[in-house]
Amino acid sequence: MKKILVYQRLERPVLQELQIKYDVRFFNDPNPLSNREFVSFLQEADGIIGLELEVNKTLLDHAPNLKVVSNVSVGYNNLDIEELTKRNIMATNTPGVLTDTVADMAMGLMLAVARRIPELDQFVKSRQWTQSLTEEQYGTDVHHKVLGIIGMGRIGQAIAQRARFGFDMEILYHSRTPKPEAEAKYDATYCTLDELLQQSDFVCLITPLTKETEGMIGKREFQLMKPSAIFINASRGKTVVESDLIAALKEGQIKAAGLDVFTKEPIEPDNELLDLPNVVTLPHIGSSTYETELAMSRLAAENLEAALNGQRPKNLINPSVWETAK
Ligand SMILES: NC(=O)C1=CN([C@@H]2O[C@H](COP(=O)(O)OP(=O)(O)OC[C@H]3O[C@@H](n4cnc5c(N)ncnc54)[C@H](OP(=O)(O)O)[C@@H]3O)[C@@H](O)[C@H]2O)C=CC1
Ligand SMILES: O=CC(=O)O
């Protein structure tokens, strides 16, 4: 029976289906390589499926039998693709099935920050709503404002669609290459990063975390933004220099931020972002709905099983492994 290591998350019905066909073990230690049982199972594992397992050279040295690593996420910054490819191990992810759900969350964050929803919810629940609101409690409009999207891929375009047609926003975007089709569809304008930062009322970051995007938004970029700008990060925490974001929020270089992702997750209790009144935080929930998590688990399991059965997985990140195997 083939051995499957499940890390952190796989929805129950999918886990149960795999358990019928394979020898499945579940782990969720934050430092898995210090768990002897994990290391011993890894020695014989044919496949890994799960979330945010740091698959690097050290881990792979303990996995001589591994054929596939199936991420239950679209982002795969946790995988050393070069090292996996060198060892002829397939890597897969789950693009597409979460796109709309993440875009909904990004819009939710924009609204929550602009209209100060969490803060005013607390105001009501703490029984402070005893007379009409004061001007200090007003929010700012989302509709008809300028939204700058950094990373005009699947999710970026789903955000553009919502913002353009739901909220009549003007869309600016920046990505590695211009997207003429998206420009026509969402009436969007391609900008350099600096132009986007200077002109946007809302800046939404939704790129993958790569060597190029790590720290792409820092002190210089916050200084370029409007003092009234609202910054949304739905990508990965490390695309932003967090200490520079904190400084920008404290010094009024930008107005506020909505953050689904952080440099360290779960966030450390002493992270200053937790004490800033102009920040709305979420625990990395972009895709966390029942429907979408199940769809992601199913897709990840299909990818895993295809690789184990000698078929080409639908969402193969390193196709050269397949070409070599043919
Ligand atoms: N908060 C959450 O829970 C979630 C977060 N995510 C994050 O969102 C990311 C994007 O997902 P998805 O839209 O499906 O991915 P896509 O690959 O479809 O889109 C990524 C976009 O980022 C752009 N990009 C890549 N590198 C750069 C760069 N150096 N500078 C500017 N733009 C760049 C790409 O540009 P080009 O097309 O020109 O190459 C592309 O437009 C994921 O990788 C993940 O990190 C995803 C799901 C949930
Ligand atoms: O952050 C989630 C993902 O799918 O990537």
Predicted local distance difference test score (pLDDT) of residue 223: 98
Q: Which residues of the chain are under the pLDDT cut of 50?
A: none
Q: Using CA atoms, how far apart are residues 219 and 199, in angstroms rounded to an integer?
A: 17
Domain ranges of the chain: 3-95+291-325, 99-281
Q: Using CA atoms, how far apart are residues 152 and 156, in angstroms rounded to an integer?
A: 4
Q: What angle do CA 155, 161, 164 make, to 5 degrees?
A: 135
What's the pTM? 0.98
Query: Which of 74, 205, 206, 260 has most ligand 2 atoms within 8 Å of CB, for mutation?
Result: 74
Predicted local distance difference test score (pLDDT) of residue 122: 97
Catalytic residue positions, numbered: 236, 265, 284
**CA torsion sign, 42 to 43 to 44 to 46?**
positive
Domain covering 99-281: architecture: 3-Layer(aba) Sandwich (3.40)
Domain covering 3-95+291-325: architecture: 3-Layer(aba) Sandwich (3.40)
Interval 113-162: pLDDT, tens: 999 999 999 999 999 999 999 999 999 999 999 999 999 999 999 999 99
The CA 50 to ligand 2 mean position distance, Å, reads 11
- Residue 326 CB contacts under 8 Å (≥ 6 apart), including other chains: none
Predicted local distance difference test score (pLDDT) of residue 216: 98
Residue nearest to atom 3 of ligand 2 (CA): 73
C-beta of 75 in contact with ligand 2 (< 6 A): yes
Predicted local distance difference test score (pLDDT) of residue 326: 75
Ligand 2, atom nearest to 296 Cα? 4
Residue 159: name the closest of 92, 111, 228, 222 by CA: 111
Predicted local distance difference test score (pLDDT) of residue 272: 98
For the chain, state the CA radius of gyration: 22
C-beta of 47 in contact with ligand 2 (< 6 A): no
C-beta of 234 in contact with ligand 1 (< 6 A): yes
Q: Scanning the structure block, which residue is given the tokens 């799960």? A: 50
Interval 190-206: pLDDT, tens: 999 999 999 999 999 99
The CA 283 to ligand 2 mean position distance, Å, reads 12
The CA 200 to ligand 1 mean position distance, Å, reads 19
Q: Using CA atoms, how far apart are residues 153 and 161, in angstroms rounded to an integer?
A: 12
Predicted local distance difference test score (pLDDT) of residue 188: 98
Predicted local distance difference test score (pLDDT) of residue 325: 80
Q: How many residues does this entry show for the chain? A: 326
